[in-house]
C-alpha cells in the first residue's frame, strides 16, 4: 500500500502538480534557473544548470506533534531525502 501511494505521489510530482497530504504536508516541484557559481576547490566561476527541485512544507499538525513529543525532528529534510529521485 505504501509503495502504491509513493508511486502516485511521484507521478503527480513528475507531472508538475503539487501533492497535499492532510495533517502531513505538501510536496511541490520548483524550477531553479541557471545561475553563476564558483568551483569551491579552484574558485573558478562556473554556470550551474537549471534544474527541478523537490520542496516539502511540513503541516502545522505534524510540527506540533514533533514538538509535543519533545523530539527535535527535521521532518522536511527527511522527506526531501526520501523523494530525491523525483527531481
Q: What is the pTM of this model?
A: 0.66
| Structural domain harbouring 23 | 2-82
CATH number for 22: 4.10.520.10
Give the pLDDT confidence of 15-62 residue by residue, as tens digits.
989 999 988 899 999 999 999 999 999 999 999 999 999 899 988 888
Other CB atoms within a 10 A radius of the CB of residue 87 amount to 15
Instruction: For residue 87, tell me if it sits in a domain.
Output: no
Q: Do the domain assignments include residue 57?
A: yes
Residue 62 is assigned to a structural domain of this protein? yes
Query: In the prediction, which pLDDT does 79 show?
Result: 64
Task: Give the model's pLDDT for residue 71.
Answer: 55
- In a domain? residue 65: yes
Flag whether 42 is in a domain. yes
Separation between Cα atoms, residue 29 and residue 12, nearest integer Å: 10
Q: Are 41 and 65 in contact (CB under 8 A)?
A: no
- Tally of structural domains, the chain: 1
Amino acid at each position: 500500500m505504501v509503495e502504491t501511494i509513493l508511486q502516485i505521489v511521484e507521478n503527480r510530482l513528475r507531472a508538475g502538480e503539487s501533492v497535499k497530504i492532510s495533517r502531513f504536508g505538501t510536496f511541490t516541484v520548483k524550477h531553479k534557473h541557471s545561475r553563476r557559481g564558483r568551483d569551491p576547490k579552484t574558485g573558478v566561476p562556473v554556470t550551474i544548470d537549471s534544474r527541478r527541485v523537490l520542496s516539502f512544507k511540513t503541516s502545522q499538525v505534524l510540527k506540533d506533534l514533533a514538538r509535543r513529543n519533545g523530539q527535535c525532528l527535521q521532518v522536511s529534510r527527511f522527506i526531501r531525502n526520501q523523494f530525491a529521485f523525483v527531481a
